[in-house]
Amino acid sequence: MQTTVSILMAHAYRVAPALILALTLGGCAIKPPEGIEPVRPFAVQPYLGTWYEIARLDHSFERGMTHVSAEYRLNDDGSLKVINRGYNPEKQAWNEAKGHALFTGAVDQGALKVSFFGPFYGGYFVTDLDKDYRWSLVVGPNRDYFWILARESHIADALKAELIAKAQAIGIDTTKLIWVNQTQPAP
């Protein structure tokens, strides 16, 4: 009996720090990068629906993807269901990731945290937004995560230039933007 208790206690002491760290990180307030101010006023109802990814900075979870879109749906508890979808031409397959988003503060500010992996959240900060919710600039937990989203799969060159200037003004390296292929129908 003493041996079993000793083994369990030793295991608990090894697991407890990792569990405490995971719970602490999962419960932390997510803050925007320094100098980034999420939009206010922000209204969740007009933000719902499908957004097309016009441009992004490269990151592993979307690398090589085309025809990328994000859909936001309101849950009964006020959180958002997030469905990201994109086509992987190399594998000739659609990929889909489902997650949820919570406001990090007031619901009239575009500051959310998004999770696709249990208690682990990443920041999602709407930094600029068309008054009619036709386009949106989103920064993640740091300036290495950035997206230009739009309600249509294509934007005019003049709007593209305007959004690039807005991104540069908040410190985004726009020379590294990947312009997402939305032109040819994906299989």
In a domain, 26, yes or no: no
Domain range for 166 = 37-179
One-letter-per-residue 3-state SS of 144-176: CCEEEEECCCCCCHHHHHHHHHHHHHCCCCHHH
Indicate whether 157 belongs to any domain.
yes
pTM to 2 decimal places: 0.83
Could you read off the pLDDT of 130-139 as tens digits, one per residue?
A: 999 999 999 9
Asked if residue 14 belongs to a domain, the reply is no
The residue whose two tokens read 């697991």 is 15
Could you tell me if 107 and 44 are in contact, meaning their C-beta atoms sit under 8 angstroms apart?
Answer: yes
Element (H, E) at 178: strand 177-179
* Residue 76 falls inside a structural domain: yes
Where the chain has pLDDT below 50, the residues are: 1-29
Residue 71 lies in a domain: yes
pLDDT at 117: 87
* In the chain, % of residues over pLDDT 70: 82
CA angle at residue 93 from 97 to 91, to 5 degrees? 115
The backbone torsions φ and ψ at residue 89, rounded to the nearest 5 degrees and listed phi first, read -65, -30
What's the total number of domains in the chain? 1
Q: What are phi and psi of 23, to 5 degrees?
A: -65, -40
CATH of the domain at 167: 2.40.128.20
Does some domain include residue 27?
no
- Asked if the structure places residue 20 within a domain, the reply is no
Q: With respect to residue 25, please indicate whether it lies within any of the assigned structural domains.
A: no
Tens digit of pLDDT for each residue in 7-32? 333 333 333 333 333 333 334 448 99
